[in-house]
């Protein structure tokens, strides 16, 4: 390590690093280096690499040899460029210490500003600036931040001291506090720190720097950063870089200020310069959302020269990066400094629009445009919207911080949001403002409403990243989170009351408004068409009803990959016949009951086939164990007994006989078909009656009959015979011929291991990765909640294996199934119908493994189309 | 098929087939051909091959082309040798039609004797023999058998007609019926058949033959044959051959007779000629056990010449086959005909003795001797025996038909035997005599007692094959199976009363006698020593207590392969601490409760280690889910609440929280260790405290700590650390060093798939094939009872996969685990500890897969030693 370069300098029109070095320098550091090289005015500084962070943790939180030397060497260069000296009372160089991981984790890690101040340098700075109020304000900010971040003295303790001064003097705002009072507070802060830590505040700037660097390293593993990484799938071993950069002061006076901006609108994607700023403020004032900032357009009037310079810089940066940029700047006494540029976070809506617009503008090509949208993010566009046909009367309006609509019951803190959500309730989190501690509650809520803060406030940024509806800065809202109510003018809403948010317009509506389903149109439709040009995988859907099938066709599905027949057994007028069948003591009795179900099932299939005309429909025969169809509560058993005309003891006995220790591994799937072939025979008959009827009506039907839970080739053979018999009987009856296939799910590990045997008989495989995961890992999905969180926390498992396919384990069985299956039957049709079929990482795996299609829920079809295109762009199929 | 040779002739000193052609000709046909070639006098005949049977079933029960011609061609040769003509009224040839599968299935399939008789040939035969009573007795037997076997007219209907005649005439025995009366009965039988079938009895002998052949084919798939095949693991696709052979008549008069014999005693293995015969009888009279036959030694006095010839023949046959033979013969008017020879069935006791004796006699070598005993059969020798030290007073005595002792409650029919046994009761089946219909009940019973029949009666033969205790021909027993009691002189025992059988001596004891465990000694010990010379696999045992460990050492175990620690949690004074731990709401509370368990667990391990001194002991850390340790009944919950000093609601809540949908796939195994490391830590501490203590006492201890249910390498790493920490802490404390290993069970499919990763960290693998089978097949062992029987019946699965390893599916994962494991760690120790470790077929698989050891229950250790030897003889390991 000691031989390694650990510190990279930037500034004065050149840099040791560049924009491609994100892994080493973090996103912020790499981009600062890149901007410096482009000749953009950034305060000089240096970046300590992510490798140092990793080494720090591996080395029991000690600095590697040589780091100290490299830091002071780089500091020397900064001093030279800035014309100031670190720790020099005459002309002190103050620096900011900021974290910077490979990908942005806004607000999750620590920052220390104004570092280098002590009683000596503060005096020197006053001499230089002749602005004691600025200096003592900066000084108190530094002591407060350092105390909080480095020395773990709670933030609130400092605030109490400030409040005491304000109260004593009758001040309302911090801006009213005088230089002398700030100076006095610095003293009080230091006393507080000495009391709490048992050590005096470090006056030595070098010691301050060392402490701050360690605090940034340490913050990589604070609870909220770990939580954020889990939610956003960021590996823990990446580590963070540390950026040490000369301070530019936005808080020197009224010709100073600070702002953040986007080169295009991050909410809509519109090609307009978009941002906010605050005069006489430091960066955290804007991001924290404590004062409501001004729109960037106002700067054009207020400081036209600065604005013009900013405009030329942002255009240069967007052209350079060929992507929408999120920039931070500070104006120090009329002079513009750029503090950061990075690819801007954006809503899915904006991501789609920007990708399509940039392709149309010729900035990028179509293929690049397709890679510019995270497939998972599209989920946002597929969220429900307020029904435009319904007239709703908003009770208030805020900033449209993250689009989509949400309906839920009001809660006033993150903890309640998580608790209520676990109870299955839809909740809206209502806060004055959010902070990084609220991240879990925001994740649990359907939508977020804040009374304060702008479009770049914490709530807005995080909600957009989560694809969650958010209305921010709704100043009409007066929140009382102690007594748990919120006033909108005279309208009072309490905890648990229903509320509707429209994140696209900023409207707040009392009660439950009607929402409508989204559709593909405009830029979204265009991007989907482009994606289709690049993908190799077909995308099917899991749909059990004509309505689901219709929705999926609207989203561009190419067939049904999984039509579950058991849901059809629960409906009105059906469950009774199902129960009659279950109670029957012999085959004749079961057949009598099944005869009642036949016309109903036929209608089900007729409807689905009709919607899917011309596209294949994979129908899975009955899968769940029979005990799912009988009542388990005493009162319902009595009701069933009455309905069936039998003593309740008969029902109880049958229910008891059907009970299983491990129903997941019990009498279900084709095991039902083997023991009661009449069930599958009826289902096959219903399928082919519906298909024949439609064929006669001139509608093309492509049925694929799927036998579930096969583990032995004999099971498949026996069940295929039942289906084939029903098919030929029915086709003869109707006098038409239907082309159909009989295949199986590969969901029992054994099936993957003997896939060659099965493929001799089966015409298609559909990998049922839900059950395959349960059995391969030995995880009951319904029970894993007791240990899975501990597994993820202890990093035994990277991701929930029911969301993202466990490629190392389960993936081996899928690959084996594919290989063996294709060996035995080269044209074997292969798909996947577990929930992984809608997960982008799993879709990439399916593409690389050579499957023909993935099948996912209707609302994930567009996500799958895009993910499949990106997989094929990444690794084209021959 | 038509070009194929389908019929093989034998007789007159030569044969077309030979003894090696069992697959084609069946056991009986092959041996008849072999005897004919050896110049032994067998009635001429021919064999229709098993291939014809298979073709018959494949061809919708039609004869293949050319079969008819080949039959009549062979019949011509038989006529020539026997000097008679089939269907010739002047000098008629009568034939017997018998089934003959590859392996003997005694009494399971159909036989027709005396075929060729009709009114014409009967008259001709009377002229030839001048013995109308013999002719009409034979004729009525034929019509009766043909009616029963070929035409499905129930046996009893014929018996009723005979009984009517006997009653009218006041006869007691069939032998009193006159020729004229038999003639009259033939007429009545034919009328009965015409009435029941709507068709006249076939007078044409050719039609009779065709019908009988089809009946034998058909009987291959009758219910009891299928059942027999299931119990004895005989594949359904083998089919049966059909033997058509000239009749030799044992029932012509008092210088005729028939008998069965063994070249050595099939019960004890003693080298004496052993058998029984009946004069003036046909073969089925002996086998059916209706008349009690005479011992073979009596024949020496009665017909010295015939006996001398028989003696020379049996010696010739045993020398020829180099194995104990089971022979059948008929004496027709003083002339000896051999009807059958085959390797004789024998008790395990006899099998061991014969193998050892023959090796000592120089007839076979040691290696052959080791292959001569079926490992599974040894189970019989490992059955309990009557305690020789206890004096018991028998109430009656019968033939010692199948050794070992049994204690149970009396039942009087097979159905009750099966029913009571399913309820968990031990039963003894008491019958006048058994028939093939009783096979299920015999299998369910602990022992069988019959009032009638000899050592070769149905009951005796089947019980020996099953290795089940049997006392046969206990003439003192008067059975009333209607009113369900049995009298032994004046002693009356009712249904449900306890009884003890000693199958080794023939004693019957009222009540429950004391039984003792078997041991290795004498011939058994010798054979085991020989087996050890040839085996490569080590044999370990599954033992949880010092007592089990001691038993297993007596049987020659080489270590403990699985010591389950959870059983230790249930004992007196333990379960309370376990429940305290479960109720604890935090780690400190759990640790407090665990501290109480520590000394108890230490004692457990101390005892086991001490018994196993010098041998490795694999200890599995806690595996079952915690809900197995809490009470589920309300009353027990109340009791626990009282004991724990908490409200019952606390218990209920905790029990409810621990409930799982699929406990098999839930929070158990190392998942407990990951979430509650303190449990494993306590267990490891107890292990190493016990080991260190013993080391100080100078006793060698070889602990192997096993982590259960590992699926992810991170689980193993975390748990290994817990164990290693406890080990080093404890060893330091005691000041001694113990060599130990930490390994894992491979029982989750994923573990086999990533075995290379795991082997990087683990020092041994033990394949837990019970759970591996459950997960790979998706079969819950506790629930599979609802469909597994149907699977076996429909031949989807050949054998219960929980008894015999599913080599095709689960076996692939074992092989993969072995390969990957050894890749990563060439000296990885590999074993198996599922119940398959005691199953001979699975042991062969383990040998061939390259495992180091198998581990099985103590009583199966000798079986495993023998099976391992046979596997290595079959396929020696390099």
Q: What is the 3-state secondary structure (H, E, C) of B435-493?
A: CHHHHHHHHHCCEEEECCCCCCCHHHHHHHHHCCEEEECCCCEEEECCCCEEEECCEEE
| Active-site entry in B53, B349, B383, B458 | B458
Average pLDDT, chain A: 92
When mean pLDDT is compared across A108-122, A602-616, A709-723, B842-856, the lowest value belongs to A108-122
Residue A1 has pLDDT above 50, yes or no: no
Nearest-Cα distance to chain B for A710, in Å, is: 9
What does the alpha-carbon distance between residue B434 and residue B447 come to, in Å, rounded to a whole number?
Answer: 13
- List the structure tokens of B10: 């034998």
Residue A358 has pLDDT above 90, yes or no: yes
Q: Specify the pLDDT at position A396.
A: 92
Nearest-Cα distance to chain A for B754, in Å, is: 7
What does the alpha-carbon distance between residue A683 and residue A607 come to, in Å, rounded to a whole number?
Answer: 15
When mean pLDDT is compared across A72-76, A254-258, B206-210, B698-702, the lowest value belongs to A254-258
Residue B861 has pLDDT above 90, yes or no: yes
Confidence bin at A286 (pLDDT 50/70/90): low
Ramachandran assignment for B614, one of left (phi > 0), alpha (psi -120 to 50 degrees), beta (any other): left
Interval B784-800 mean pLDDT: 86
Which residue of A656, A662, A780 to mutate against B (max B Cβ within 10 Å)? A662
Are B794 and A718 within 8 A, CB to CB? Answer: yes
- List the structure tokens of B465: 């094959």
DSSP assigned state of B627 = G
Residue B859 has pLDDT above 90, yes or no: no
Determine contact: B750 vs chain A, CB below 8 A. Answer: yes
Interval A679-705 mean pLDDT: 97
Q: Specify the pLDDT at position B1.
A: 45
**Nearest neighbour of A667 by CB, restricted to B715, B786, B795:** B786
List, for residues B495-538, the tens digit of each pLDDT value.
999 999 998 888 999 999 988 777 777 899 999 999 999 999 99
> Closest Cα partner for A493 from A506, A508, A504, A503?
A508
List, for residues A475-528, the tens digit of each pLDDT value.
889 999 889 999 998 899 999 999 999 988 889 999 999 887 777 778 999 999
Are B777 and A750 within 8 A, CB to CB? Answer: yes
Q: Which residues of A are identified as catalytic?
A: 458, 833
Residue B676: list chain A partners with CB under 8 A: none
Reduced to 3 states, what is the DSSP secondary structure of residue A575?
A: helix
Are A806 and B675 within 8 A, CB to CB? Answer: no
Interval A120-133 mean pLDDT: 92
Residue A719: list chain B partners with CB under 8 A: none
What does the alpha-carbon distance between residue B187 and residue B177 come to, in Å, rounded to a whole number?
Answer: 15
Determine contact: A774 vs chain B, CB below 8 A. Answer: yes
Q: Specify the pLDDT at position B456.
A: 67
Are A786 and B675 within 8 A, CB to CB? Answer: yes
Determine contact: A236 vs chain B, CB below 8 A. Answer: no
When mean pLDDT is compared across A329-333, A698-702, B386-390, B442-446, the lowest value belongs to B386-390
Q: Specify the pLDDT at position B487.
A: 94
Determine contact: A575 vs chain B, CB below 8 A. Answer: no
**What pTM does this model have?**
0.79
| Active-site entry in B53, B469, B470, B833 | B833
Residue A287 has pLDDT above 70, yes or no: no
Comparing alpha-carbon positions, the chain A residue that sits nearest to B782 is A661
Residue B812: list chain A partners with CB under 8 A: 753
Residue A714: list chain B partners with CB under 8 A: 791, 794-797
Which carries the bigger pLDDT value, residue B735 or residue A251? B735
Q: Specify the pLDDT at position A68.
A: 95
Residue count of chain B, please give it.
878
Strand A405-411 versus strand A427-431 pairing type: parallel
Q: Specify the pLDDT at position B287.
A: 60
What residues contact residue A771 under an 8 Å CB cut-off, 6+ apart? A664, A709, A745, A747, A748, A834, B778
List, for residues B66-109, the tens digit of each pLDDT value.
999 999 999 999 999 999 999 999 999 999 999 999 988 877 78
Residue B149 has pLDDT above 80, yes or no: yes
Interval B678-683 mean pLDDT: 97
Residue A609 has pLDDT above 90, yes or no: yes
Confidence bin at B380 (pLDDT 50/70/90): confident
| Most confident range, picked from A159-173, A738-752, B116-130, B554-568 | A738-752
Q: Hey, what's the torsion of the CAs at B497, B503, B508, B514, to 10 degrees?
A: -70
Residue B675: list chain A partners with CB under 8 A: 786-787, 790
Residue B139 has pLDDT above 90, yes or no: yes
What does the alpha-carbon distance between residue A477 and residue B61 come to, in Å, rounded to a whole number?
Answer: 87
Q: What is the CA radius of gyration of chain B?
A: 32
Determine contact: A785 vs chain B, CB below 8 A. Answer: no
Confidence bin at A456 (pLDDT 50/70/90): low
Residue A782: list chain B partners with CB under 8 A: 660-662
List, for residues A814-838, the tens digit of each pLDDT value.
999 999 999 999 999 999 998 899 9
- List the structure tokens of A160: 């109490």
Determine contact: A782 vs chain B, CB below 8 A. Answer: yes
What does the alpha-carbon distance between residue A518 and residue A824 come to, in Å, rounded to a whole number?
Answer: 43
Q: What is the 3-state secondary structure (H, E, C) of A288-306?
A: HCCCCCEECHHHHHHCHHH
Are B661 and A665 within 8 A, CB to CB? Answer: no
What residues contact residue A662 under an 8 Å CB cut-off, 6+ apart? A780, B662, B663, B664, B665, B780, B782, B783
Q: Which ipTM was obtained for this model?
A: 0.79
**Nearest neighbour of B715 by CB, restricted to A747, A775, A796:** A796
Residue A774: list chain B partners with CB under 8 A: 665
Are A661 and B782 within 8 A, CB to CB? Answer: yes
Are B797 and A771 within 8 A, CB to CB? Answer: no
Interval A263-288 mean pLDDT: 85
Are B663 and A666 within 8 A, CB to CB? Answer: no
Residue A806: list chain B partners with CB under 8 A: 750
What percent of chain A clears pLDDT 70, i.e. is strictly above it?
98
Determine contact: B788 vs chain A, CB below 8 A. Answer: no
**Nearest neighbour of B714 by CB, restricted to A660, A715, A796:** A796
Q: Specify the pLDDT at position B570.
A: 76
Q: Specify the pLDDT at position B783.
A: 87
| Most confident range, picked from A175-179, B423-427, B742-746 | B742-746
Confidence bin at B290 (pLDDT 50/70/90): low
Name the packing angle between helices A810-824 and A769-777 (round to 10°). 120
Q: Specify the pLDDT at position B286.
A: 67
Q: Specify the pLDDT at position B519.
A: 73
List, for residues A72-111, the tens digit of each pLDDT value.
999 999 999 999 999 999 999 999 999 999 988 877 788 8
């Amino acid at each position: 390590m000691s031989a390694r370069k650990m510190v990279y300098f930037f500034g004065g029109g050149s840099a040791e690093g560049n924009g491609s070095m994100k892994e080493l320098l973090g996103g912020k550091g790499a981009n600062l280096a890149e901007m410096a090289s482009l000749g953009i005015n950034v305060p000089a500084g240096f970046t300590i690499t992510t490798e140092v962070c990793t080494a720090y943790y591996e080395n029991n939180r000690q600095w590697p040899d040589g780091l100290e030397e490299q830091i002071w060497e780089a500091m020397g260069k900064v001093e030279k460029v800035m014309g100031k000296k670190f720790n020099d009372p005459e002309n002190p160089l103050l620096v900011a210490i900021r974290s910077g991981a490979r990908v942005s984790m806004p607000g999750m890690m620590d920052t220390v500003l104004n570092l280098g101040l002590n009683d000596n340098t503060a005096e020197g700075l006053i001499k230089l600036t002749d602005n004691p109020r600025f200096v003592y304000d900066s000084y108190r900010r530094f002591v407060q931040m350092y105390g909080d971040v480095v020395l773990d003295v709670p933030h609130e303790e400092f605030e109490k001291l400030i409040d005491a001064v304000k109260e004593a003097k009758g001040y309302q705002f911090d801006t009213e506090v005088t230089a002398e009072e700030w100076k006095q507070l610095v003293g009080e802060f230091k006393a507080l720190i000495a009391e709490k830590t048992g050590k005096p505040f470090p006056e030595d700037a070098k010691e301050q720097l060392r402490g701050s660097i360690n605090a940034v390293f340490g913050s990589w593993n604070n609870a909220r950063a770990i939580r954020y990484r889990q939610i956003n799938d960021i590996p823990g071993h990446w580590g963070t870089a540390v950026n040490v950069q000369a301070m530019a002061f936005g808080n020197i006076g009224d010709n100073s200020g600070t702002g953040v901006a986007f080169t295009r609108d991050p909410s809509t994607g519109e090609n307009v310069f978009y941002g906010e700023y605050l005069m006489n403020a430091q960066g955290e004032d804007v991001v924290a959302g404590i004062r409501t900032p001004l729109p960037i357009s106002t700067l054009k009037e207020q400081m036209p020269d600065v604005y013009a310079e900013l405009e030329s810089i942002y255009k240069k940066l967007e052209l350079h990066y060929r992507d929408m940029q999120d920039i931070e700047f500070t104006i120090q006494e009329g002079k513009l400094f750029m503090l950061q540029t990075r690819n801007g976070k954006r809503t899915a809506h904006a991501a789609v629009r920007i990708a399509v617009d940039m392709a149309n503008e010729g900035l990028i090509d179509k293929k690049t445009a397709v890679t510019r949208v995270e497939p998972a993010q599209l989920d946002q566009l597929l969220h429900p919207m307020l029904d435009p046909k319904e007239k709703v009367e908003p009770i208030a309006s805020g900033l449209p911080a993250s689009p989509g609509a949400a309906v839920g019951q009001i809660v006033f803190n993150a903890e309640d949001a998580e608790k209520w959500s676990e109870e299955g309730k839809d909740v809206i989190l209502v806060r004055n403002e959010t902070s990084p501690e609220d991240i879990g509650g925001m994740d649990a809520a359907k939508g977020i409403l804040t009374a304060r803060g702008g479009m770049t406030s914490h709530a807005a940024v995080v909600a957009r990243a989560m694809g969650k509806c958010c209305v921010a800065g709704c100043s009409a809202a007066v929140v009382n989170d102690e007594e748990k109510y919120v006033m909108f003018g005279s309208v009072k809403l309490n905890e648990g009351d229903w509320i509707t948010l429209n994140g696209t317009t900023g409207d707040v509506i009392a009660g439950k408004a009607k929402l409508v389903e989204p559709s593909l149109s405009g830029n979204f439709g265009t991007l989907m068409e482009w994606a289709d040009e690049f993908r190799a995988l077909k995308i099917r859907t899991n749909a059990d009803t004509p309505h689901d099938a219709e929705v999926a066709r609207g989203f561009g599905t190419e067939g049904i990959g999984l039509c579950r027949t058991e849901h059809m057994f629960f409906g009105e007028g059906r469950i009774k016949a199902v129960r009659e069948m279950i109670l029957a003591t012999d085959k004749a009795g079961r057949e009598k009951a099944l005869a009642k179900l036949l016309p109903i099932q036929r209608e089900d299939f007729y409807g689905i086939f009709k919607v899917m005309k011309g596209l294949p429909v994979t129908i899975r025969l009955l899968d769940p164990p029979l005990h799912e169809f009988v009542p388990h509560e005493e009162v319902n058993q009595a009701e069933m007994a009455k309905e069936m005309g039998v003593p309740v003891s008969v029902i109880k006995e049958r229910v008891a006989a059907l009970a299983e220790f491990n129903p997941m591994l019990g009498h279900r799937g084709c095991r039902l078909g083997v023991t009661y072939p009449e069930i599958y025979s009826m289902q096959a008959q219903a399928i082919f009656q519906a298909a024949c009827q439609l064929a006669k009506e001139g509608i093309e039907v492509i049925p694929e009959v799927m036998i579930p839970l096969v583990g032995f080739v004999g099971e498949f053979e026996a069940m295929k015979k039942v289906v084939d018999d029903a098919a030929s009987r029915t086709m003869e009856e109707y006098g038409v011929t239907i082309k159909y296939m009989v295949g199986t799910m590969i969901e029992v590990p054994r099936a993957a291991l003997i896939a060659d045997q099965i493929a001799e008989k089966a015409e298609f495989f559909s990998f049922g990765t839900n059950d395959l995961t349960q059995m391969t890992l030995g995880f009951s999905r319904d029970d894993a909640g007791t240990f899975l969180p501990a597994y993820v926390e202890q990093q035994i498992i990277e991701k929930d294996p029911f969301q993202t396919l466990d490629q190392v384990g389960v993936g081996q069985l899928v690959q084996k199934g594919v290989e063996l299956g294709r060996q035995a039957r080269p044209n074997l049709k292969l798909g996947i119908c577990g929930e992984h079929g809608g997960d982008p990482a799993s879709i990439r795996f399916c593409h690389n493994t050579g499957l023909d299609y993935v099948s996912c829920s209707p609302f994930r079809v567009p996500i799958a189309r895009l993910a499949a295109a990106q997989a094929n762009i990444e690794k084209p199929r021959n």
